């Protein structure tokens, strides 16, 4: 469906429930791809329709039967049409995304947050930081936890780390000034300008001599084969945030080679490589990558200690 006849549709649809059902049906018929905050047409419909109406997403019976006025109908239908015709992720239409249960501003300068690392942050990276956090809680004068979010994009990982680990200092690095400008918006929105510091850096180039207790990174890692077959929705995202060489590991290799220099003695590296896990294991068959599991789904995230990075890289 290329266009929506507003007059015909709005004459037949009246309630929020009507428009949610209509949107979900249209999304399914258009065979859209879902993977930027939602994974199905119904949830995508909720995010768009309720945003258009400036309402929370809790769907009670009372909300579902609320009738829309004509201006509201036009706005909802225009969002539905934009999602279908442009195949643009809903998060770019609403400029809103959730990560680790926190709200973030997003636009096409950054990837839409969706990393399973959110689950690790909510768990305060247990058990990897337990000893360090225990020491901080027992001694008010203990050195703050230092965290590096490498390839920060929207700043979602850095900001979530600062929120769930309030005794931390977080540096948020990215090569893209556009991405750092979006990260700055989110840092200010969350009131963390003294705790989260955005820094332009090509991998580690901008933090020479700095060391951290935790390096956490969701770098570009999509291999060329996957880049060539991505759904249209991904073409709206900045390509430099997705692809990274034939096997997707150009930046990951730099992180592995230089990471130990930027970790404290008991520090750890947590890195997402997604589907490129198979390439990483093939390149480094002797490295004992600790592949992490997630209750809410997700894969391709490993943990290595500083000692392991020194030993193998």
| Same domain? 119 vs 52 | no
Chosen domain end from 68, 94, 120: 94
- The answer to whether residue 272 sits within a structural domain is yes
Chosen domain end from 94, 109, 133: 94
Q: Which residue do the tokens 């991904």 mark?
A: 234
- Is the pLDDT at 65 greater than 60, yes or no? yes
| Distance (Å, whole) CA 90 – CA 258 | 37
For the chain, how far is it from start to end, CA to CA, in angstroms? 53
pLDDT in tens, 166-208: 989 999 999 999 999 999 999 999 999 999 999 999 999 999 9
Q: Quick one: pLDDT band at residue 3, thresholds 50, 70, 90? A: low
Chosen domain end from 33, 64, 94: 94
Under 8 Å between Cβ of 114 and 36: yes
- The answer to whether residue 1 sits within a structural domain is no
Predicted TM-score (pTM) of this structure: 0.93
pLDDT given for residue 290 in this prediction:
97
pLDDT in tens, 259-312: 999 999 999 999 999 999 999 999 999 999 999 999 998 999 999 999 999 999
- Is the pLDDT at 4 greater than 80, yes or no? no
- The answer to whether residue 118 sits within a structural domain is yes
- The answer to whether residue 222 sits within a structural domain is yes
- The answer to whether residue 137 sits within a structural domain is yes
Q: Quick one: pLDDT band at residue 1, thresholds 50, 70, 90? A: very low
| Same domain? 192 vs 295 | yes
| Same domain? 134 vs 272 | yes
| Distance (Å, whole) CA 264 – CA 303 | 15
pLDDT given for residue 284 in this prediction:
97
Range of the domain at 154: 99-312
Higher pLDDT, residue 59 or 19: 19
| Same domain? 75 vs 162 | no
| Same domain? 30 vs 129 | no
- The answer to whether residue 152 sits within a structural domain is yes
| Same domain? 173 vs 293 | yes
pLDDT given for residue 161 in this prediction:
98
pLDDT given for residue 96 in this prediction:
95
| Same domain? 146 vs 85 | no
Q: Is 169 helix (H, G, I), strand (E, B) or coil?
A: strand
| Same domain? 41 vs 150 | no
H helices of the chain, where? 6-12, 16-29, 41-52, 61-64, 70-85, 90-94, 117-122, 130-138, 156-164, 177-189, 224-227, 250-258, 277-283, 306-312
């Amino acid at each position: 469906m290329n266009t929506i006849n507003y007059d015909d549709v709005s004459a037949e649809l009246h309630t929020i429930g009507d428009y949610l059902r209509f949107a979900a049906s249209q999304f399914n018929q258009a065979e859209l791809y879902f993977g930027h905050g939602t994974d199905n047409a119904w949830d995508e419909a909720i995010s768009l329709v309720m945003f258009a109406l400036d309402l929370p997403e809790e769907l009670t019976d009372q909300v579902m039967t609320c009738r829309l006025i004509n201006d509201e109908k036009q706005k909802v239908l225009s969002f539905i049409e934009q999602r279908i015709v442009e195949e643009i992720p809903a998060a770019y239409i609403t400029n809103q995304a959730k990560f680790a249960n926190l709200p973030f501003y997003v636009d096409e300068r950054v990837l839409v947050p969706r990393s399973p690392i959110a689950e690790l942050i909510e768990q305060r990276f247990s058990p990897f930081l337990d000893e360090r956090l225990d020491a901080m809680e027992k001694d008010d004068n203990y050195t703050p936890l230092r965290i590096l979010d490498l390839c920060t994009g929207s700043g979602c990982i850095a900001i979530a780390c600062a929120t769930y680990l309030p005794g931390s200092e977080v540096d948020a690095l990215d090569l893209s000034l556009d991405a750092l400008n979006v990260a700055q918006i989110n840092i200010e929105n969350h009131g963390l300008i003294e705790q989260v510091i955005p820094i332009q850096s090509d991998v580690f180039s901008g933090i020479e001599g700095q060391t951290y207790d935790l390096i956490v990174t969701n770098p570009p890692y999509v291999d060329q084969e996957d880049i060539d077959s991505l759904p249209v929705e991904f073409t709206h995202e900045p390509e430099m945030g997705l692809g990274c060489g034939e096997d997707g590991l150009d930046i990951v290799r730099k992180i592995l080679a230089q990471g130990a220099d930027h970790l404290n003695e008991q520090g750890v590296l947590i890195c997402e490589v997604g589907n490129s896990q198979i390439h990483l294991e093939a390149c480094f068959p002797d490295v004992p990558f600790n592949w992490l599991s997630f209750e809410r789904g997700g894969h391709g995230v490993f943990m290595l200690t500083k000692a392991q990075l020194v030993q193998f890289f």
